[in-house]
Structure 1
Amino acid sequence: MTLNINYKNVLPEKNSANLVLFIEENLNISSLKKYISNSELSYISDLIKKSNNKKKITAYDINSKRKITLVSIKKKLKSSQVESLGGKFYDYFKDTEEKLFDINTDSIASKSKDLIGYFLHGLKLKSYIFEKYKSKKFKKSF
């Protein structure tokens, strides 16, 4: 699976299909009011209260056409940890039907703006598949 990254300096629409937002480690989502609607915010906060999970990447299906993914980030992260988080993001979504994501970098509360670069670099590294010199294998169908 190849990965194509497009950088746009435009805020994604509030109703984009797959929105990725970065939140603090304690799952405080009150800062996301400007990126999602109030009903979606209350829906996600109810799900977070009920689930009480400690996963770094969680995806919430708002409806059949909209998914909001929350990536929790610690306050002090090394670049290798952020790259690893990007790789986990790729693993989380590589087998799903979703192929287009709007990653909102304005939701990053951290002072380090290089964080998104490391995240995307880890995503790109994880997506690499070495197939150039592999021998062709025949697929059997039943």
Structure 2
Amino acid sequence: MEIITAGTTPDRLAKPDWFTGRVWQTPIVEAPAPARVRALRVSFEPGARTAWHTHPLGQTLHVLSGIGLVGLRDAAPRVIRPGDTVWIPPGEEHWHGATPESMMCHIAIQEADAEGQVADWLEHVSDADYRRAPD
């Protein structure tokens, strides 16, 4: 067993290659093999969001605070709130982030594939896609 003491894992600013705006990531777990689970606490400042991406084995998001958006290709984004859990199937192109007016924090849980990959990153989400009226 390993206990990671609160406050000992540093927050890190997410790579701008994969995010728009300021996004902070705090690792929760990157389990050693043969386990494949990875989890992060991700905090988005207002207007911040991921780029389009997919996950080879899918992804679960669980919203902790704030108000967020999650979007799929050719669809209006959906609003997500604290307590909401979102399942994104393998290979589904999507993005997620904060609304323009509110921060949002979620836990992102995904598994690595056999090669250790957890995400396939695509292009940045356009302002038009981001600002599309939510469903």
**TM-score (norm: length of structure 1):** 0.27
Task: Name the structure, 1 or 2, with higher relative contact order (CA <8 Å, separation 6+).
Answer: 1
Q: Which has the higher helix share?
A: 1
Q: Which has the higher strand share?
A: 2
